[in-house]
Structure 1
Amino acid sequence: MDILVVQHVEADPVGILGRYLEVKGAWLHTWLVPQRPTPPSGHYDGLIVLGGPMNACEDENFPHLARVAELIREFYSQGKPVLGICLGAQLIARAFGSRVYQNEMPELGFTPLFPVAEAEEPWLQDFQPGMPMMQWHFDTFDLPPGAKLLLTNSICANQAFRLGSHTYGLQFHPEVTPEIVMNWIAFKTDWIEAHYPHLFEQLRDQLVMHWVQSAQFTERLANAWYDQVVASAQTVPLLRQG
């Protein structure tokens, strides 16, 4: 199965999520926006939209965002699975007319998440209430109309949702590795030292305590989402692009 991965900046790769998908048999085609102004042409069976430092509606500085919102709607209308992470989840909300706006406070580091009682996704069956997952965001969003909330917490209510049967938005970062997190810290060192001087030590300790469990969750997520990609490809007519 061929997966289109939208990568907004070099510091936000698909990480361990991509490794698990490739083990399952996925072929990942990355659109690294700074190096290529338009997405590669071709037929894709699923779409992953990664995180990034920009606001989801910052079209004047990042004109590709409008095209990404169009891609999300195209894959959704074709019944192809979509997975949005952090900015990607916010872009799903934007694509379907919902607000994206600044959260009351930044959410940085591993924070506990809680399943909503009605959540029945296969990748949430072993998700323990209060399980910590990596966060790195300043914005949040309103759920798209008809979306089902799956995970929440007290800092940012909309942590994971499903729209329709194949489109998922995750505000947290299941894809991270310790190396990715350290790169994010290096990218914002001055800001962190000025506002959260203890964050570096906190994240270093949190990675030791929580990353292995996070990676195990990511493997379950990757397996379940890829199974959806395979199942949808068997039922959706092949629509060629480009």
Structure 2
Amino acid sequence: MASILYVCVRPEQGAADAEHESFRRALGAPALDRWDLLDQPLDPSVADRYDGVVVGGSPFNVVAEERSDLQRRVENDLERLAQDAVAEHLAGMFTCYSIGVVTRMLGGTVGTAVPESTRATSIRITAAAADDPLFGASAPEMSVLTAHKEGSIEPPPGAVLLATNDDCPVQAYRVGGRLYATQFHPEVTPQDFVGRMAYYRTTGYFDPHEYDLTAERVLASSPTGTDLLRRFAGLVG
């Protein structure tokens, strides 16, 4: 069985633990190794020891005017993983915050003009994704869960745009055959997402006065992002 590593970049322990479990379940893995980048720098041998990596979200922002030494080190480590995926030493799925790290590394632009609040949203699968092993089977559109303050209006150089919508044009892209990046969260169920909301209630992802309404809307949704991770596990395998 292929080995996949979950790379954590969340400082909130409860949110990190829950995200780890979300990825494990969505990948269909009986167990999923974990590397907390906030606690320890990336081991250079990861690309040799694992067939794939999945990277979770974070309250960090790539466009932050002031980035701590810790954030800079974390982003350098994520870039190294992305470079390994571009070189096809392993397969990589970079989600939410980490799509910004990858986009910047590839020479693209990340900004704050296309945020999305905590919600379910519909994304359109592009014609270029018709034969993609992850996204092709989800055409013409799918429902996903999203919450982000930064994003991109066009994919970075060398990337194939796989999914888009009117609010945030770059929802997912692929580089080569092994690097995937999504603006949305493919790993979560509605229940997972509501549980995560409790950790970020006052951090600007949604109006805290509308917590119950936002949670109700999320719970009423039927996202299909986890299909992508099951296919990713098959790609890695």
Q: TM-score, normalised by structure 2?
A: 0.80
**Change beyond 3 A, Cα 1:74–1:139:** same
Structure 1, unaligned stretches of length 5 or more? 231-242
Structure 2, unaligned stretches of length 5 or more? none
Give, in angstroms, the shift of residue 20 of structure 1: 3.6
- What is the identity, as a one-letter code, of the residue corresponding to 2:236? V
Give, in angstroms, the shift of residue 67 of structure 1: 1.6
Q: What does 1:76-95 correspond to in 2, within 5 Å?
A: 76-95=86-105
Q: Secondary structure at the match of 2:230?
A: helix
Q: Distance in 1 between matches of 2:146 and 2:114?
A: 15
Q: Distance in 1 between matches of 2:201 and 2:27?
A: 32
Q: Distance in 2 between matches of 1:159 and 1:112?
A: 10
Partner of 1:233: none
Q: Is the counterpart of residue 67 in structure 1 residue 77 in structure 2? A: yes
- RMSD value, Cα: 2.7
- Contact kept, 8 Å, 1:150 with 1:159, in 2: the verdict is yes
**Change beyond 3 A, Cα 1:59–1:44:** farther
Q: Distance in 2 between matches of 1:177 and 1:132?
A: 11
- Contact kept, 8 Å, 1:97 with 1:144, in 2: the verdict is yes
Partner of 1:236: none
Give, in angstroms, the shift of residue 199 of structure 1: 4.7
Q: Distance in 2 between matches of 1:81 and 1:193?
A: 29
Q: Distance in 1 between matches of 2:206 and 2:100?
A: 27
- Contact kept, 8 Å, 2:194 with 2:218, in 1: the verdict is no
- What is the identity, as a one-letter code, of the residue corresponding to 2:213? E
Q: Is the counterpart of residue 227 in structure 1 residue 231 in structure 2? A: no
How many residues are aligned here?
Answer: 223
Partner of 2:151: 140
- What is the identity, as a one-letter code, of the residue corresponding to 2:180? Y
Partner of 1:173: 185
- What is the identity, as a one-letter code, of the residue corresponding to 1:35? D
Q: What does 1:1-242 correspond to in 2, within 5 Å?
A: 1-9=2-10, 10=13, 11-12=15-16, 13-23=19-29, 28-39=32-43, 41-42=45-46, 43-56=49-62, 58=67, 60-62=69-71, 63-120=73-130, 121-127=132-138, 129-141=140-152, 142-191=154-203, 195=207, 197-210=209-222, 213-214=223-224, 217-218=225-226, 220-230=227-237
Q: Secondary structure at the match of 1:18?
A: helix
Q: Distance in 2 between matches of 1:135 and 1:92?
A: 18
Q: TM-score, normalised by structure 1?
A: 0.79
Q: Secondary structure at the match of 2:202?
A: helix
- Contact kept, 8 Å, 1:45 with 1:80, in 2: the verdict is yes
Q: Secondary structure at the match of 1:114?
A: strand
- Contact kept, 8 Å, 1:150 with 1:161, in 2: the verdict is yes
When structure 1 is superposed on structure 2, of 157-166 and 173-182 the one drifting more is 173-182
**Change beyond 3 A, Cα 1:40–1:178:** farther
Q: Distance in 1 between matches of 2:44 and 2:87?
A: 20
- What is the identity, as a one-letter code, of the residue corresponding to 2:135? L
Flag as ranges the 4+ runs of structure 1 deviating above 6 A: none
Give, in angstroms, the shift of residue 182 of structure 1: 2.6
- Contact kept, 8 Å, 1:31 with 1:40, in 2: the verdict is no
**Change beyond 3 A, Cα 1:158–1:192:** closer
- Contact kept, 8 Å, 2:3 with 2:50, in 1: the verdict is yes
Q: Distance in 2 between matches of 1:160 and 1:194?
A: 22
- What is the identity, as a one-letter code, of the residue corresponding to 2:8? Q
- What is the identity, as a one-letter code, of the residue corresponding to 1:30? R
When structure 1 is superposed on structure 2, of 175-184 and 160-169 the one drifting more is 175-184
Q: Secondary structure at the match of 1:172?
A: coil
